[in-house]
Amino acid sequence: MELDYVSLWDRCLSIIRDNISEKQYETWFEPTRALRYSDNELTIQVPSRFFCEYLDEHFADILQRTLMRVFGQDIRLSYHTSVVKEPETNETVSFRSTTETQKSTKGVTEPTRVADPFKQPVYKELDSQLNPCYSFDNYLAGSSNLLARSAGESVAQQPGKTAFNPLFLYGESGVGKTHLIQAIGAKAKALNPQARVLYLSSHLFQVQFTNAVRNNTVNDFINFYQSIDVLLIDDIQDLAGKTATQNTFFHIFNHLHQTGKQLVLTSDRPPVSLEGMEERLLTRFKWGLSAEVERPDYELRKSILRSKLKKDGIVISDDVIDSIARNVSNVRELEGIVSSLIARSVILKKEISVDMAECVLASIVQMRKQQITIELIQQKVCAYYNMEVSLLQSKTRKREIALARQISMYLSKKYTDHPLSYIGLRLGGKDHATVHYACKTIADQVEIDKKLRAQVEEIEQTLKM
Strand partners of residue 199: 232
Count of CB atoms situated within 10 Å of the CB of 143: 17
- CB half-sphere exposure, 137, CA atoms < 13 A: 6
Query: How far apart are the C-alpha atoms of 333 and 352, rounded to whole Å?
Result: 17
Tell me the pLDDT tens digit for each residue of 52-72: 777 877 888 888 888 888 888
Question: What pLDDT is stored for residue 365 in this prediction?
Answer: 60
The correct CATH number of 5-113 out of 2.40.50.180, 3.30.300.180, 3.40.50.300, 3.40.50.1950 is 3.30.300.180
Domain ranges of the chain: 5-113, 146-292, 298-364, 374-463
Query: How far apart are the C-alpha atoms of 334 and 330, rounded to whole Å?
Result: 6
The correct CATH number of 298-364 out of 1.10.260.30, 1.10.8.60, 3.40.50.720, 3.40.1160.10 is 1.10.8.60
Kindly give the parts of the chain with pLDDT less than 50: 83-120, 367-369
Residue 138 CB contacts under 8 Å (≥ 6 apart), including other chains: 307, 311
Beta strands in 230-286 (DSSP E): 230-234, 262-267
> 146-292 architecture in CATH?
3-Layer(aba) Sandwich (3.40)
Instruction: Give which of 363, 378, 382 is closest to 415, Cα–Cα.
Output: 378
Query: How far apart are the C-alpha atoms of 440 and 433, rounded to whole Å?
Result: 11
Residue 4 CB contacts under 8 Å (≥ 6 apart), including other chains: none
**What mean pLDDT, rounded, does the chain reach?**
82
Question: What pLDDT is stored for residue 167 in this prediction?
Answer: 96
Question: What pLDDT is stored for residue 2 in this prediction?
Answer: 62
Query: How far apart are the C-alpha atoms of 235 and 308, rounded to whole Å?
Result: 25
Which DSSP string do the residues of 215-231 spell out, in sequence order? TT-HHHHHHHHHT-SEE
Does domain 374-463 fall into CATH 1.10.1750.10?
yes
